[in-house]
Structure 1
Amino acid sequence: MSAPRTDSLSAPSPDRGPDEAPAGPVWAKVPTRLAAPAPVAVTVTAVVVTRGSSPYLGATLAALRAQSRTPDDVVVVDVDTAPATSGHQDLQLGGARYVAGAGARTFGEAVETALSATGAPDHGWLWLLHDDSAPAPGALAALTRAVEHSNAVAVAGSKQRRWERDPDGTPLDPDLSDRGVLLEVGHTVSPLGRRMTGIDDTEIDQGQHDAREDVLAVGLAGALVRSAVWRQVGGTDPAYGQLGDSTDFCLRVRLAGHRVVVVPDAVVRHAQVSLHGPGASGARRRAQLYLRLTSVAPWILPFAMLAMLAWAPFAAGYRLALKRPERARDELLAPLWAVFRLGPLLRARRRVARTSTVPRSVLRPLLGTWREVAAERRDRRLARGGAHRVEHALSDLERAELGTLAVRRRATLALVVAGAVGLAAALFGPALGALAAGARLVGGALLAAGGSTATTWSSATSGWVRDGLGTAAPADPLLFVLSGLSVLAGGSLQTAVNGVLLLALPLAAVGAWAAAGTVTRSVWLRAAAAFLWTVAPPFLGALDGGLLGAVLAHALLPWTAVALVRAVGAQAVDRLTPPDDPADAYAPGPRAARPTASLGAAGAGGLLLACVVAGSPALLPAAVLVLVAATLVAPRRRVHLVLALVPALVVGAPLWWTAVRDGDRGLLTAEPLAGASGVGAGGPASGLELLLGLPAAPEPWFDAPDGGGPVPTAVRALVAAGPWAVGVLVVALALLGLLAALLGIGRRRAGATARRVTGTTVVGWLVAAAGIAVAVLAQDDGRWAGPGLSLLLLGLGAAALAGAAAVVARGARLHGFARTAVRTGSVVLVAVGLLLPAAQAAAWLAGSGSVAAAGRADLLHVSAAPVVPAVGQQMQAPPRQARVLEIGFSADGDGTVRYALLRADGSQLADAAVAARVTGGDGTAAGALDTVVAELVSGTTDGVPERLAALGIGAVQVRDGGTAGQDAAVGDLVATLDMVPGTSRVTEGQAVSVWRVSPADQPAPGWARVEEDGTTREVLPSAGTQVRADVGAGSADRVVVLAEAADPGWRATLDGRRLDAVAPEQTAGLQAFVLGPDDGHLVVRYEAQHRTAWLVLTTFTLVVFALLALPVGRRRTR
């Protein structure tokens, strides 16, 4: 206990001697000093709470023994399982008592255990300490001085500083390692209950906060608490657990009419082990929400609970965007924990009400404001930014070198972009005006893409494909991706498709540049890789053939590779070399930025991989194989590679399940959203041609000159070998990379270089093997082999760049002729890598021309002419939604009749599902359609209009033939249709002849109708695959019939009452429901099995990965 002070309150000035009188008055002689309250005897019991064997406990007890004012009693409470000190090796208790408190779950319960065991007096004080909180020698003396003159003070807290630790977690000596980093000098809470200290994370104690005294709360580690008040308020609330109990306890002490002060002269070094331990963030968030619920007014409590639950997803999304998934999980779970613990919550509120003697308004001056919240966040952000800049500070020479590298990199990238944009302009430039005026890109395998975002989303997720009379089948995952892109295109699917094709070439070039940058930092090697990737035969062939999925997969594959490589921190980085070091474009040097794994890159990689797999489902097994195998060589965060597979698996889950259930690999190798393909005219490629990246038997780039002699022969041979040159170059360099990996080039100088060469080469050849396997399987199924070959070229390109960069790095360390030879070879290599793509692009453009050129009917071209005339489109529009039957003949001239049911302006991209093409079209309704078309063409007229109307066909159209044979057949067909009763021609002198279907004594055909005794009584309004209409009363025999194939997924309700389905045999395979005599509101729709669960899972997955991919929550190193 401190003796009463009688000395002067004014210390001697350092500017005068000890014997000189002070210049001012002597404050000890002022009579008011005698009026101060007399100090009271302070009895202190120190309670140290530990959890088992702790590396901090010994130092903390030593600090207690070193106090200038020692506590009267010291009690050590172990809340772990050790029943005695034998569980603590080398523990020196000194005069302290040991109490086993294995049943204590919280700090407050441990203190209660100590009080029960020692019988501390009510008039005494408790000095509460954690095992990781070592007080400075004068801490207790300063605390007792603060409380011995005031009966109002019930809690006196200490100034907390950080207890420093080694990087391995070993605590350092608290007296020798104290850097003065502040943790807390008292604290308050924000309006939402968040703890606020007003101190930056790295703020050094310079006495700037020593003026604080009365505060809202203090940390209980190192706090002096009056024993009577501890018992009065009931100690800490066990519901808080390890965190948050200090704030709640001090609030209750304040409301009980006592003061809570902080004593800056009392310093405690605190390691905050519980704050940084596993699960600490969740415990802290739960404590914040629990404190908020215990503090609000009773009438606000239910609204506060609802608000917390409603805000939780947004808070979790914010944490995900900051790349803190654990915190996001806590934001979701903490409100549930707080809301569903009603019992402890109500007991805590009753305890506060029972012990409170003053209103809550007395706390308002001590609470944090929104302005203070914003100021604290700003200060902490600036402090972290300053610390980051100091840690990664560069010299002027290093900044200049980085600037030079950046200028060279940007200039070369500009050349790459210019080349790709020029190639795109040559292909699409002449058609831009027509596209801007509303024309569309079609042809080859590409169908018209009419429809809005809403209709595209419905087609992508409904589980019903509306091709022909419809079939239950999953849509292609590519349509799901396009529905998202249509949002960016202003709600138009056709604009989204046009945009993908227009931007494909520049997107592929820039992506290849970025992907090459993860392997080598040589700008010329990256430029050559970008050009070679842009003019790769699989890519150009897919563009010509209108294979939208293959185009998208090729363009996004390098971007996916970039994201996945960065996800595990395996990318190459720029090296800052000393002036006397040779340039090394590959190996990281001592000043190279260390690559770090990126969760954001993993999120972006997952989304990109989902788009790639949607464009080519056959790449999914290859992606799974490659990523799982790549985890064996990934340098860090290997789980990121597995995580990246999740979106691709979830988005295409209906198609993957169908393929596994049916055992049909054709569902994966078929081109998604494709019509009749016009590619591969050169015939199937051989195994060697596939290995060189050629999807079909190649044709010479240019016509060889005629004439004999050795020169023309050599020229012809060179021209014939042109299409092979790109593949030969890539394979040769990939073999060089394999050789470099086997020989360990650069191993003596830089082990990291050798490891990167080996790892990149192994993964590259693994990717190439997966790609060639996909290509071979696709070609065996008669499909386009391009996506597999794109994957092959990606793998070979990675291995080739690794080999070339390793050779360049090795050559930079050679001397004399060897160095000159390597440099010359590098220049030749880059020159060939730049010239070959130029020749390839020129030959391709010369052979194909632009999309606006004539003669590209079987290839991708621009079209502005409608497929269905305006009169037919008017019938197709809601609410009627009649179909148009188009009849024609095959181009072979063999007289084969071809027909299509059109629900829009031509066959639609949204209706071209692979699963529907493979599994649909063989039902009773399809057979009925075949029969009526055959009767219509042959001239059999009995009941044909009625059967057409029953199928929802409102018009029949015939297009003029393109050949003499087709013209003759079309003329005969037109004459036949003119003679069919119930049809009337509505167009004359046009390229398309249209006949309106008008069955006798029945309304005009539509998609949904009410039928009675086999006669249509009413056509119901419909939109898409839904009917929502009010129907009147009628006979009991009424049925609702849809012009769609029957399926168990169709549902119909009348005023909420479910209607029974009619057997398909009674309606020629069409879907029908028993309507009956009642009136009411009729709803008909299709409900796919498990659709809701899949949509919820897909939405959740995409939102999570999109938030992870957002470029926020990170800081550039340079």
Structure 2
Amino acid sequence: MGPGSVRRPRAPHRASPIGRKPLSQNLSRYVVTAVVVAHDGARWLPDTLKGLLSQHRPVQRIVGVDTGSRDRGRSVLHEVLGEDAIVTLPRETGYGAALAEALRQPAANTPVQAIDPVEWIWLLHDDSAPAHDALHHLLLAAADDQRARVVGPKVRDWLDRRMLLEVGVTIDGAGRRETGLEPRELDQGQQDGNREVLAVGSAGMLIRRDIWEELGGFDAALPLFRDDIDFCWRVNSAGHRVAVATDAIVYHAEASARRRRPTAATGDHPRRVDRRNALYVLFANLPAGALALALIRNVFGSLLRTLMYLVGKQPGSALDELAALASAYGRPFKLIGARRRRARTRRRTYSAIRPFLARGAATRRLAEMAANLMSGDGAMDSSGSHRAGALPGEPEDEDDDPLRDDGGLLRRVFTHPGVLLVLALGLVTLVACRSLLTGGRLGGGALVPVAGGASDLWRLYVSGWHDTGMGTDGTVPPYVAVIAALSTVLLGKVWAAVGLLLLGSVPLAGFTAYLLARRVGPGKLTPLWPAAAYALLPIATGAVAAGRLGTAVTFALLPLLGLAAAGILTEAPRRARRAAWATVVFLAVGTAFTPLLWVLAVLLAALLAVVARWSPWSPWTMPDTRDLVTNLAIAVTAPLALLFPWTLRLFTHPTAFLLEAGLHRPGLADPLVTAESLLLLGPGGPGTPPIWVTAGLAVTALGALLLRRRRGPVLAGWLAAGVGLPVAVLVSLASPKPLDGGPPAAAWPGVALAVAGLGLVVAVAASGPTIAGLYRDGGWRRWAACAVGVVVATPAVTAAAVWMWSGAAGPVTKVNTPVMPAFLAAQNRDGTAPRTLVLRPAAYGIDYTVLRGRAPLLGEAEVARLEPVGSRLDAVVTGLASGRAGDDGRELAAYGIRFVLLPAPIDRRMQAVFDGSPGLSRVSVTPRFALWRVTEPAGRLRLVAGGQAPVVLKAAGVDVTAAVPAGPEGRTAVLAESADGGWSATLNGAELRPVTVAGWAQGFELPASGGTLEITRGTFLYTTALLLQGLLVLVAVVLALPAARSEEEGDPDAEVPRPRGERKGRRGGAKRARGKRGSRRRGDAAEPPPPPRTTPEPRPDEVPETTFWGAR
């Protein structure tokens, strides 16, 4: 719960008010011994002692302990308490040992006259100052609940005295301390009410002395950190109660936990000791069954947390995590002894303790750490959000109800404007793509029908030789690795990953565009319409209809790329460098799907550098032009390294820049698209709406040029549009050929138009605060703002209506029939690796594919084929389909092709031609396909000897191990793969001489003797390049992520040594700070909390002109 928020109040359970005689409590019989332990805490100690000595209900005894302080701590104790009440211990003494020694001192055992006395111990840290009535309320709570043996106070922050730190504590399944509070939650009474909890902190803890002696005090194995939770857990297990008294207040600086001072008891690794103690407390107190699960769970949890620390650039924390894990698991006998000691005093079952534990908090904490890393806040180990305890009579799982009205996760998520936008766009997508939601696999257009699983894609990507078609060592497009990674997350389901990226591109683009628009134009609602307009641009609907997976992914990724690029221009040098690496990661992913994006990025980077350096009307300034140029250079050059060696193909085949992920075939793009359509962001082709749909966006973007404020984002947007539109025109004029062969086809300008469209959206979003300001001004300005709002909203509403009405009409569809018949796929699993030639008549001639017993995978069709085998097979297939007289059918056997397949609809002319071919024999003709078999023995590996019939050997996989029978001299083992020098073979361990057969096939000369033939493919260079690529990607991701922040590093008040006192008004009186409600709680009148140091947020229309993107 953040500042100013209000949580649903709980039913109060208060003690009697001060000044009113309790009904049954006789506090005079309570004998309280206060123990103050000091360790380099001289800057807090005077206030702590002042609070102790000014108690409304004073203590009977005070003992001070100094554990080797190197500041004035011992002197302060001596001045206030006197020498007889002080004990000095070595600097390495732990907190529990210091308490035990203090209670053995004569000052802690002075006789006190009382009727039926009850001894209590009050623990205070040197940095914990109690309110003047804290002890009074603690004793009242103890008197109210006769079973309470430990009572703790409400703990507020030492500096911001309205901020809550603890109202009882608990522990989660990973041993982490949970307070049940939101970060920087202000005390507005929402946590009030005395209640039973698992534990309370040791700062201000009130303990019955007989219970302390019965349980042996704090565990000596816990010198610091988690000792309080362990003790209170043992108190609960012994059949007693631990309660929190919320009317008792202690102000705590948390100096040791926030690392504001060195702690000798923990050495140089306080975080490591903290983590080890957390695991120790968990393992020592859980029952056997829960312990077994915790032991397994925390191994994986700690390893995952270690990885996140490494990614978050905190190697020290990662090392501490591993060392703590090893220490906790490496001392089993110590753990067994601790469990035995606890078993002697256990009187309460675990089922009575379990409701007080934080359930699900460990998983939530890991998710929060990951979210903080991705959002730029760093992996801060912040407080959990699980409540520390339950009110008497309150359901145990009430706080676990996600629908309760207290700012819970679901409520916050589903009321977030960005999430609402995603839900609305998701609904629009479901209606528009209703024909693509059920039945079969997505395929058609530019999308290869989805086949295989994540393991198949990984195998394709890491293999140095690809058993696709006629075989090739070409580089697989890197986008295959991206889809494989996403498929792995989705339990290996490639179809789910493709469906999410293609059909989910519109809502995903809406959310990412909302993030960018909110940065450009601050506000929650004004960025919605520009983001919706971007998500429903014709580029998006056209990409879905045509199955353009590359454009769909890039379209959703572009706003994130814009956000990262904005950081290069606006952030401080260190953050700007990190933004440059974030740009590298996003640009690399986008380039893997659509290489043209890299060209556009280079042009934009050059233009931005020129404008920022030499233009006199540049609306932003950089502290160092060299930093800007360096960051831009990193942003556009590093992606080439991340995508190496695939990027070599882009420069050796420049037309590849005009292609994208998927097939490149005629009919998928409009070669006659008009200039008017391009100017209005209409790329042409299937699935695109009328060009007038986006007119409102263009008009509003033009109007944004008239703004006097926020010219920076407007100019940046129009720079992007000025680059994207001309490039789109040039792309629409090109007709490149696909790298795997085939006729040339018109290039699609969708990616260039997406960049231009995003630029216009940025310009429109920049005008959002101005429009909001006009609306607030009222009068005719409000009517003008409404008119502009209607124009801004029109593109999104119109595009959504048109898309839902027409649907995702295009070549992409659901493929229900398999590419290969089931019985044919079964015959291909005989180990000889035969191939199947699949032919389809096309308007430009014959389209054919060579399959190896399975359907083609994503990315295989884009791997460059090898020559001359590709051209030779083209000639054979052309001759076979034309019906010319010859041995084209028999020649297919030399290419390892055993079957010829004509899928439905069957071309009757070609059927007749194949029936008459001398080298083919019909197998079957059905309504779904027609199949022929090559009469000559065919397989991937054959033994050829003079005029004898070839012998087919087993040759499954890339590398081959086959048994070769003895035979005549002059035999040749022919592998139906390209002879490119990468193959080697041995027979019984002796190397064979390689030869080229028929001008393209790899052969090896065999002796007359038989034996074991082994053929291998050398892939050392490719494997090395792939490992280098993985290393570079990891480095880039780590450099792009923000450095993790510890909790103390995120504390804005960490360097302020003294608490803020009361502020004086003009007349010298105390100036009381007021919360949201302006109410005052009982008991706080004497110590009014000062207001927190806050910075007022500017109005959206009052952003200074010196900022580029506005308030951050």
Task: State the TM-score bracket (shorter-chain normalisation).
Answer: 0.5 to 0.7
CA shift, 1:363, in A, is 5.5
What SS does the aligned partner of 1:273 have?
A: coil
Aligned-pair CA distance for 1:107? 3.6
Inter-partner Cα distance in structure 2 for 1:305 and 1:1100:
32
Question: What is the alpha-carbon distance in structure 1 between the residues aligned to residue 292 and residue 422 of structure 2?
Answer: 61
Residue 938 of structure 2 corresponds to which residue in structure 1?
Answer: 1005
Work out whether 1:290 is the aligned partner of 2:280: yes
With the length of structure 2 as denominator, give the TM-score of the two structures.
0.57
Partner of 2:721: 768
Distance (Å, rounded) in 2 between the aligned partners of 1:144 and 1:876:
84
1:63 maps to 51
**Residue 369 of structure 1 corresponds to which residue in structure 2?**
353
Note the C-alpha offset of 1:868.
7.9
In the alignment, structure 1 residue 798 sits paired with structure 2 residue 782 = no
CA–CA separation in structure 2 for the residues paired with 1:291 and 1:729: 63
* Structural mapping, 1:501-650, within 5 Å: 534=536, 536=538, 538=539, 547-551=548-552, 553-554=554-555, 556=556, 615-619=593-597
Instruction: Establish whether residue 996 from structure 1 lines up as the match of residue 938 from structure 2.
Output: no
Decide whether aligned partners of structure 1 residues 1095 and 131 sit closer, same or farther in structure 2, where only a CA change above 3 A counts: same
How has the CA–CA distance of structure 1 residues 265 and 473 changed in structure 2, closer, same or farther, with 3 Å as cutoff? closer
Conserved 8 A contact 1:952-1:1007:
yes
Alpha-carbon deviations, 1:1035-1083, whole Å to 9, x = none? 99999875444789999999xxx98986754675549899997789999
Secondary structure in 2 matching 1:162:
strand
Query: Quick one: which amino acid aligns to residue 353 of structure 2?
Result: T
Amino acid paired to 1:129 = L
* Structure 1 CA distance for aligned equivalents of residues 211 and 800 of structure 2: 86
Residue of structure 2 in register with 1:273 after alignment: 254
CA spacing shift, 1:232–1:216, aligned 2, 3 Å = closer
Which residue of structure 1 lines up, in the alignment, with residue 5 of structure 2?
A: none
- 1:664-706 deviations in whole A, cap 9, x for unaligned? 58455422222334455536988x986654658x99x99xxxx
Tell me how far 1:616 sits from its aligned partner.
2.2
**Partners of 1:654 and 1:274 in 2: how far apart?**
44
Following TM superposition, by how much is the alpha carbon of 1:470 offset from its aligned partner in structure 2, in angstroms? 2.0
How many residue pairs match? The answer is 911
2:764 match: secondary structure: helix
Aligned twin of 1:949: 893
User: How far apart are the structure 2 equivalents of 1:775 and 1:891?
Assistant: 27
Question: Residues 380, 838 of structure 1: CA spacing in aligned structure 2 closer, same or farther, 3 A cutoff?
Answer: closer
2:941 paired with 1:922: no
Q: Choose the corresponding residue for 1:676, options 665, 678, 681.
A: 665
**Stretch moving more, 96-105 or 61-70:** 96-105
- Structure 2 residue aligned with 1:360, among 344, 348, 362? 344
Can you list the C-alpha shifts for 1:957-997, whole angstroms capped at 9, x where unaligned? Answer: 7999999xx99xx999979x845xx6556689999997633
Give the conservation status (yes or no) of the 8 Å contact 2:422–2:507: no
Distance in 2 between residues matched to 1:141 and 1:839, nearest whole Å = 71
- Bigger Rg over Cα: 1
The answer to which structure, 1 or 2, has the higher relative contact order (CA under 8 A, 6+ apart) is 2
- The residue type equivalent to 1:675 in the other structure is H
Q: Is the CA contact (8 Å cut-off) linking 1:984 and 1:995 kept in structure 2? A: yes
Structure 1 position 764, deviation (Å): 2.8
Between the aligned partners of 1:648 and 1:1041, the Cα distance in structure 2 is 46
Amino acid in the other structure paired with 2:701 = A
Q: Does 1:882 align with 2:837?
A: no
Q: Check if 1:739 corresponds to 2:739.
A: no
Determine helix, strand or coil for the equivalent of 2:469: coil
Partners of 2:290 and 2:517 lie apart in 1 by 58
The alpha-carbon deviation at position 657 of structure 1 amounts to 4.6
Which one of the candidate residues 322, 331, 341 is aligned to 1:336? 322
AA partner of residue 152 (structure 2): K
CA distance in 2, matches of 1:758, 1:693: 23
The runs of 5 or more residues in structure 2 that have no matched partner are: 1-15, 112-119, 260-268, 360-388, 391-395, 571-581, 613-618, 622-633, 737-746, 1041-1112
What's the C-alpha RMSD, in Å, of the aligned pairs?
A: 8.1
Q: Hey, what does 1:309 align to over in structure 2?
A: 299
Distance across 1 between alignment mates of 2:652 and 2:592? 17
SS for the counterpart of 2:64 is strand
Structure 1 residues 823, 477: CA separation in 2 closer, same or farther (over 3 Å shift)?
same
Matches within 5 A, 1:795-944: 795-802=758-765, 805=768, 808-809=771-772, 812=775, 851=810, 880-885=832-837, 901-903=850-852, 910-913=859-862, 916-917=863-864, 920-922=865-867
Q: Which of 990, 1003, 1023 does residue 1089 from structure 1 map onto?
A: 1023
| 1:378 counterpart = 2:366 | no
Q: 1:219 aligns with which of 186, 202, 222?
A: 202
SS at match of 2:346: helix
Normalising by structure 1, we get a TM-score of 0.57
Shift in Å, 1:472: 2.8
The 1:655–1:883 alpha-carbon spacing in structure 2 relative to 1, beyond 3 Å, is: farther
Taking the aligned partners of 1:506 and 1:265, their CA distance within structure 2 comes to 46
User: C-alpha distance in 1, partners of 2:561/2:178?
Assistant: 43
Match of 2:473 in 1: 472
The answer to whether the Cα contact below 8 Å between 2:66 and 2:74 also exists between their aligned partners in 1 is no
Any conservation in 2 of the 1:193–1:289 contact (CA below 8 Å)?
Answer: yes
What's the offset of the Cα at 1:59?
A: 0.7
Give the AA of the match of 2:596.
A
Q: Distance in 1 between matches of 2:178 and 2:549?
A: 55
1:130 is displaced (CA, Å) by 1.4
Amino acid at match of 1:1020: K
**Aligned-pair CA distance for 1:771:** 3.8
- SS of aligned partner of 1:549: helix
3-state SS of 1:901 partner: strand
CA contact (8 A) 2:838 2:851 kept: yes
Q: Quick check: 1:108–1:235 contact (8 Å CA) kept in 2?
A: yes
Aligned amino acid, residue 45 of structure 2: L
CA distances 1:773-830 after superposition (whole Å, capped 9, x unpaired): 8647867986635243332343243145337656755664778888777777876887
Structure 1 residue identity aligned to 2:835: R
**Residue identity opposite 1:340 in structure 2:** A
Mean alpha-carbon deviation: is it higher for 798-807 or for 274-283? 274-283
CA change 1:351–1:70 in 2 (3 A) is: same
Instruction: Measure how far apart 1:471 and its partner are.
Output: 2.0
Distance in 2 separating the partners of 1:439 and 1:207 = 57
Deviations 1:842-881 (A, max 9, x none): 9xx9xx99658xxxxxxx7999999889997776566554
State the partner residue of 2:37: 48
**Residue aligned with 2:704, SS:** helix
- Could you tell me how far 1:289 is from its partner in structure 2? 0.9
Counterparts in 2 of 1:933 and 1:1100: CA distance versus 1, 3 Å: same
CA-CA distance at 1:737 after TM superposition: 1.1
User: Do the aligned partners of 2:194 and 2:244 also contact (CA within 8 Å) in 1?
Assistant: no
- Structure 2 residue identity aligned to 1:922: E
Pick closer, same or farther for the CA change 1:183–1:973 going to 2, 3 Å: closer
Q: Which residue is 1:129 aligned to? A: 124
C-alpha contact 1:811 1:818 (8 A) present in aligned 2: yes
User: Cα deviation per residue 1:114-143 (whole Å; 9 max; x = unaligned)?
Assistant: 999x99999999975312223566889999
Q: Secondary structure at the match of 1:370?
A: helix
Alpha-carbon contact 2:192-2:246 (below 8 Å) kept: no
User: Kindly tell me: are residues 532 and 1095 of structure 1, through their superposed partners in 2, closer, same or farther at Cα, counting changes over 3 Å?
Assistant: closer
Mark the runs of 5 or more structure 1 residues left unpaired by the alignment: 1-10, 148-152, 394-401, 571-603, 635-645, 703-721, 745-756, 853-859, 1106-1118
**C-alpha displacement of 1:315:** 8.7
The C-alpha deviation readout for 1:166-205, integer Å capped at 9, x for no partner, is 54xxxx5xxxx8x999734xx8878986779999997979
In the alignment, the residues of structure 1 paired with residue 975 and residue 751 of structure 2 have an alpha-carbon distance, to the nearest angstrom, of: 42
Q: Could you say what secondary structure the match of 1:471 adopts?
A: coil
Query: Displacement, 1:64?
Result: 3.9
CA pair 932-106 structure 1, distance change in 2 beyond 3 A = farther
Displacement of 1:341: 1.9
